[in-house]
Amino acid sequence: MLDLRPSPIAGTWYDGNPKRLAASVDECLNAAQLPEIKGRVIAVIAPHAGHVYSGGVAAHAFAAVRDLAPDLVAVLSPFHNFAQYPLITTKHQAYSTPLGNIEVDQSALAELQSRLKIPLMAIAQDREHSLEIELPFLQRALKNEFKLLPLMVRAQEMDVAQQLGHALAQVLKNKNSLLVASTDLSHFYDQRTAGILDSEMLKCFESFDPESIFQAERTGKGFACGHAAVAAMQWAARDLGADKVQILKYATSGDVTGDHSSVVGYGAAVVLKT
């Protein structure tokens, strides 16, 4: 029996019924209209609001990996709750969703810690939604069962993200793996302002220059709650041979709710080795 991380968001952030969840995720994946993608997908960027709000955007990232069968998926997300630790992972042996359990790759976690000077703190029963929200999409999109490398980045410092990215690439370099970075964009601006801020941050993502992501945050030109997670993923992906980021979809919560006075921005992208 695996020690399971219980889901704190099944039934609220996404459907808690397995059949309805599978059907809703599949519907989003089937509806995603992808541009031509040239190259091998090394990583994806996806938003992490409730499926009803950002699922249509997230589906574009995961539709791009529907033909993949990685053995290991590293998901990097922010950590929205208080914690004194810069880098966090789960203490549990597996994540539980209504679609089944996903085992955590303990050997990959141990190897990553051995390559990091920063402690990777394992905690039990975290309530972080931004990592878990991507899992049902992975469970429906990927062709096989996979193990999980869950990484929550609380630290917002560039040197922490850079060290994590380089160490992660070393762990993944000889593995059949996929990287996922979880982030939303600007929060609670009107639709027009959000579009300006989010366009700037998506340009930073597309430039494949992780330092520019931190620069946009510092100068207030663009915002992403998972900017450090995205930057760490980009450093890892570059080390793994990726050379291009392609934006697939952008929308806001206002496009779903009809309320454009205060919105959250969502973007989906792929990171490619061309």
The per-residue pLDDT for range 189-216, each reduced to its tens digit, is 999 999 999 999 999 999 999 999 999 9
Q: pLDDT-based confidence at 265, cuts 50/70/90? A: very high
Name, in order, each residue with C-beta under 8 angstroms of 6's C-beta and a sequence gap of 6 or more.
Answer: 96, 125
Of 242, 114, 123, the residue nearest 168 (C-alpha): 114
C-alpha–C-alpha distance, residues 260 and 263, integer Å? 6
> What confidence category does residue 67 fall into, taking pLDDT thresholds of 50, 70 and 90?
confident
Q: What is the mean pLDDT of residues 212-238?
A: 98
- The overall pTM is greater than 0.75: yes
Is CATH 3.40.830.10 what the domain over 41-190+198-273 is classified as, yes or no? yes
Q: Quick one: pLDDT band at residue 173, thresholds 50, 70, 90?
A: very high
Q: What is residue 67's DSSP assignment? A: T
171: how many CB neighbours lie within 10 A of its CB? 24
- Which pLDDT score is estimated for 131? 98
What distance separates the 2 farthest-apart alpha carbons in the chain?
A: 51
Q: Report the Cα 150 to chain-centroid distance in Å.
A: 10
pLDDT band at 82 (very low <50, low <70, confident <90, very high): confident
Which letter does DSSP use for residue 118 in this model? Answer: S
**Backbone dihedral angles phi then psi of residue 48, each to the nearest 5 degrees:** -140, 30
